[in-house]
Structure 1
Amino acid sequence: MKNNTVEQQLNHRTIRAFKPTTLSKEQLTTLYSVASHTPTSMFMQQMSIMHITDPDKRAAIREVSKQPYVGANGDLLIFLVDLYRNQQIRQQKGKDDGRLHTADIFFQGVDDAIMAAQNVITAAESMNLGVVPLGSIKNDPQKIIDVLDLPKMTFPVLGLQIGIPDQQPQLKPRLPLKFIAFDNDYHREIKLADLADYDQEVTTYYDLRDANRRIDSFTNQIAGAKLDHHYTKRDEIMKVLHQQGLCTDEEI
C-alpha cells in the first residue's frame, strides 16, 4: 500500500550538497509549525529549534561536525532538548524543579526533539527541499553549547541542514525487513551468512554510486573502526549532561 507520502519516504535520500539559496520566511514558518504540531510526551513540549545564521557560529559548528556542508549553503537548524523553559515556568509559579533533572524527563525531551526533527524532514522533502540530519553536532557537545550560549537544562541533540538540493544521490539500500521487524518475540539468532546478500547489495551500491566510491559492506562497517575502542568527545556526553543539570538521578 502506497500513497504520495509513503512514496516520498521510501525514496528518501540524504542530501549533502545544496544550492546557494536560503529558505524563505514562509518556508521556515511552515517547518517550525510542523515541528510544533509533533506529538509531545505528556504535553510538556520539551524541545526548541535554533536557526543559525551567524557566519561565525556556522563555521564553529562546521568545525565540530567535521563536514564541509554543515553551515555552508542552505539553512542550519539545531534541535534542542529544552527543559529550561519548563523549569522557569515552575519556578515562577513558586514550585521547585521537581522531576526535571531526571533521566526519564530528559529522554521525554529527546523523544520530543527527535520526532519534531523527523516531521520537519518529511515536510521539507514534500516541499522539494533536501535535508541531511547532523548527529555530528555531538562530536563535541560542550563546544556546541558554548557556541550557542545555551543555558543549563538544554542540550543540542540533532542538527538539520536544509536547502535546495544540488545533487541526486542514488538510493542507499537498507536492511531487509526480516532483520528489523519482529512479531512478539525478538529474533536473537543472527548469522553473518544470512546477511551475505545484503552485504553484496551494499557493496554494489558503493561501487556504482557517483560520489565517494569504495569497496565496503554493511557488516564490515559494523566490525570496523566506527565501533572499535577509541576516545572521542562523544564519550563526554554524560558529563556534559550533568553539567547542564540533566540526568542527575543516575545514582538511583
Structure 2
Amino acid sequence: MIHNQTLDQQFNHRSIRAFKPHSLTKEQLTTLYTAASHTSTSNFWQQFSIIHVTDPEKRAAIRKISKQPYVGANGDLFIFLVDMYRNQKIRQAAGKDDGLLHTTDLFQQASEDAILAVQNTLTAAESMGLGGVILGSIKNDPLKLIQVLNLPKMTFPILGLQVGVPDQKPQLKPRLPLQFIAFDNEYHRDFQASDLADYDKEVAQYYDLRDTNKRIDSFTHQIAGEKLDKGDNNHRDQLPDAIRQQGFSQDW
C-alpha cells in the first residue's frame, strides 16, 4: 500500500468530540473556507454555503437539537447549507424563472456539493493539526434548526462540522475489510452476515479496550440494533416536509 503525508492523515482519521477552549484564528478560518470553496462542484454551480455559528444562544439551541453535549461547546461550529437561494437570485436578476431549481435532481446535486465541501474542510483542518467531527445530528429537528438559523427558502442545513484543537486522542476505529466495500464491475450479492465474524471480533475488542465509553458491542449488532428499528415517530421524520417547505424537491 502506498503511503505519503496526505494518505497517512486520511488513514488515521478519527472523530474528535472534545476540544480545548480555543477559537480558530482568522487565518485558520480563511484557510478552511478556501479549502471548502475549492471542492468539486456539479456543473460549477457551487450550490452550498457555510454558516459559522458563534452566537451562544444559537449554539445552545443547536446542542439541544443534536442531543450531544459537545455540539456548540468548545471549538468552532459550522453548518453547511444546500444553497440555491443565491442562484435563484441570479436567475431572477436575468429575468428568468427558477427553471430546474425546485427539482429533486438539483437538490441532490446541491447536497453533494455541500457534503463534499464538509469533507474537504475536515481534511484541511486535520492537515493543520486540528480535529473535527461531522454532525448529522443537526437534522434531529430540521424545522427547528431552520428557525434557529433564520434560513430563507431555497437553503437547507445538510450537515454540521465542529472543528478545534483536540483535547482527546481516541483510538482508531477498525473499518470494514475492503472486500466488503470495493467490487470490480458489479455488486457482490453473495454476502452473508456471518462473513463478518472476524470483523465483529475486532470491533468488539476495540469497544472493550478503548479508553472511554467501553461497552460490549459489535458491528453487526449495531446494524441489527434499536437505532435502525422502526419506532415512535421523531422529528427526523419531518425531513421530507422540511425539504419541500424550503422549496426543494417540488417534483417528488
TM-score, scaled to structure 2: 0.98
Which residues in structure 2 correspond to 1:115-154 (within 5 Å)? 115-154=116-155
Residue in 2 that maps onto 1:68:
69
Residue in 2 that maps onto 1:32:
33
Report deviation, 1:124.
0.3
1:242 correspondence with 2:244: yes
TM-score, scaled to structure 1: 0.98
- How far apart, in 1, do the equivalents of 2:186 and 2:105 lie? 26
- Matched to 2:229, the amino acid is D
Report deviation, 1:161.
0.5
Residue in 1 that maps onto 2:176:
175
- How far apart, in 1, do the equivalents of 2:208 and 2:250 lie? 47
Runs of 4+ aligned structure 1 residues displaced above 3 Å come to none
Residue deviations 1:171-228 (CA, integer Å, cap 9, x gap):
0001000000000010112212210000000000000000000000000000001100
Residue in 2 that maps onto 1:184:
185
Report deviation, 1:62.
0.2
Residue in 2 that maps onto 1:158:
159
- Matched to 2:193, the amino acid is L
- How far apart, in 2, do the equivalents of 1:189 and 1:144 lie? 42
Report deviation, 1:108.
0.6
User: Number of residue pairs matched?
Assistant: 250
Q: Which runs of 5+ in 2 are unaligned?
A: none
1:201 correspondence with 2:212: no
- How far apart, in 1, do the equivalents of 2:188 and 2:237 lie? 30
Residue deviations 1:26-81 (CA, integer Å, cap 9, x gap):
00000000000111100100000000000000000000000011000010000000
- Matched to 1:162, the amino acid is V
- Structure 2 counterpart SS, 1:214: coil
Residue in 2 that maps onto 1:211:
212
Residue in 2 that maps onto 1:112:
113
Q: More displaced, 230-239 or 69-78? A: 230-239
- How far apart, in 2, do the equivalents of 1:42 and 1:67 lie? 36
- Structure 1 counterpart SS, 2:186: coil
What is the RMSD of the two structures over their aligned residues, measured on CA atoms? 0.5
Residue deviations 1:134-178 (CA, integer Å, cap 9, x gap):
000010111110000000010000000000000000000010000
1:81 correspondence with 2:82: yes
Aligned sequence identity (%): 69
- Matched to 2:18, the amino acid is A
